Structure 1
Amino acid sequence: MRAYYFDDLPGDQRAPHDSGKPVDPAVLDKIGVLRWQIPVSTNGQYPEIDAVARERDYKNRDVITITKEGLGELYESKIKMFYEEHMHEDEEIRYTLEGSGYFDVREHPSDSWIRIAVSAGDLIVLPAGIYHRFTLDQRNMIKAMRLFKDEPKWTPYNRDAETDANPHRQQYLKTIAVN
């Protein structure tokens, strides 16, 4: 997993957009982004993922594959939707099994985009209330395990004044202010 500041240049969202400025892991810690590198299992057993799930009270999981072939005519609209800046009222936790992509998160208080490149074996947890977006990279494929506390529920709240006032967003800002 590699993190760097997004270059903010126009162009394909799936391009690296690498500014050449790496992000210190302490910055990710400060904004509450957790991450691990856990080798992908060859036998379908994931004791390290199971331990994280127990620790964070995640009871369910599923696997999602995002490809042009799999989504067909919906592919471009889904990719655009994932890339809208938003937050969730729950953590977003993803373990990459195959392929690769990018999670972009907003650094606070600078509001700069930090791009986090994920590939097989990367586990990332985005805290509730953090503004973020997701896109595939130019390989156009990712297979990821999603973990959730109960039933899948990741309602996206696109960034606006109302979302800025959302109690989960406000709690997130209080939490990172302490760090």
Structure 2
Amino acid sequence: MAIQAWFMQESDDDQRLPHHKNPPEFVSMEQLADLGVLYWYLDPNKYENDPELDNIRQTRGYSYTDLLDLRPEKVENYEQKLKNFYTEHIHADEEIRYCVEGCGYFDVRNNDDRWIRILIKPGDLIVLPAGIYHRFTLDTNNYIKLMRLFVGEPVWTPFNRPQEDHPARKDYIKGMIEKIGLEVH
């Protein structure tokens, strides 16, 4: 099963809508991989005891996990949290999320500074590289249960755009230039 991704239509409508262009412009797994986005599909019914997940964790050094149950009745200051997640930012480390229930969207910027919307559903494990501009929102069902994975102790510090001088952003841009020889914004 492959993840679904597409170029977004810029709009002030509800951020939880799909925001497809007309006609839709889908993005392939190869295009996401070119941006450093990694993806696995796992069985979400086995997330508590999955040898495949254990193998990914061991191989990539993900030593810490927790679960985030994101819905209005479970999260204090829900609207503010969603607003914070949807503010464009980077992290100094990878962002690793495994959807075990519900749905949501990760938006990432491509090399032309266009938004790509990535739908994550149960079973989708996604890794966003350190330094990539991104944001997150739920879909209109207002519910997602995510496993968050970290290398070492959990750190979730967003650095809101602009962050062109942040070391993680500089490393990301340098890697993109070396990888594909393109100018990255």
Same fold (TM over 0.5): yes
CA distance in 1: counterparts of 2:131 and 2:15, whole angstroms: 23
Residue 99 in 1 paired to residue 135 in 2? Answer: no
TM-superposed deviation, 1:40: 1.1
1:30 to 27, 34, 44: 34
Match of 1:136 in 2: 138
TM-score (normalised: structure 1): 0.94
Q: Is the 8 A contact 2:47 2:53 kept in 1?
A: no
Distance 1:40 1:167, change over 3 A: same
Q: Letter of the aligned partner of 1:81 in structure 2?
A: N
User: Secondary structure at the residue paired with 1:21?
Assistant: coil
User: Secondary structure at the residue paired with 2:84?
Assistant: helix
TM-superposed deviation, 1:112: 0.1
**Structure ranking higher in strand proportion:** 1
TM-score (normalised: structure 2): 0.91
Residue 167 in 1 paired to residue 167 in 2? Answer: yes
CA distance in 1: counterparts of 2:66 and 2:158, whole angstroms: 19
User: Secondary structure at the residue paired with 2:45?
Assistant: coil
Q: Letter of the aligned partner of 1:83 in structure 2?
A: Y
CA distance in 1: counterparts of 2:31 and 2:43, whole angstroms: 24
CA distance in 2: counterparts of 1:158 and 1:133, whole angstroms: 10
1:80 to 80, 83, 100: 83
Distance 1:117 1:130, change over 3 A: same
Match of 2:66 in 1: 62
Match of 2:177 in 1: 177
Match of 2:182 in 1: none
CA distance in 2: counterparts of 1:34 and 1:100, whole angstroms: 18
CA distance in 2: counterparts of 1:127 and 1:62, whole angstroms: 19
TM-superposed deviation, 1:47: 1.3
TM-superposed deviation, 1:42: 4.4
TM-superposed deviation, 1:178: 2.6
TM-superposed deviation, 1:36: 1.1
Q: Extract unaligned runs of 5+ from structure 2.
A: 180-185
User: Secondary structure at the residue paired with 2:44?
Assistant: coil
TM-superposed deviation, 1:43: 7.6
Distance 1:43 1:35, change over 3 A: closer
Identity of aligned residues (%): 47
Q: Extract unaligned runs of 5+ from structure 1.
A: none
Q: CA RMSD in A?
A: 1.1
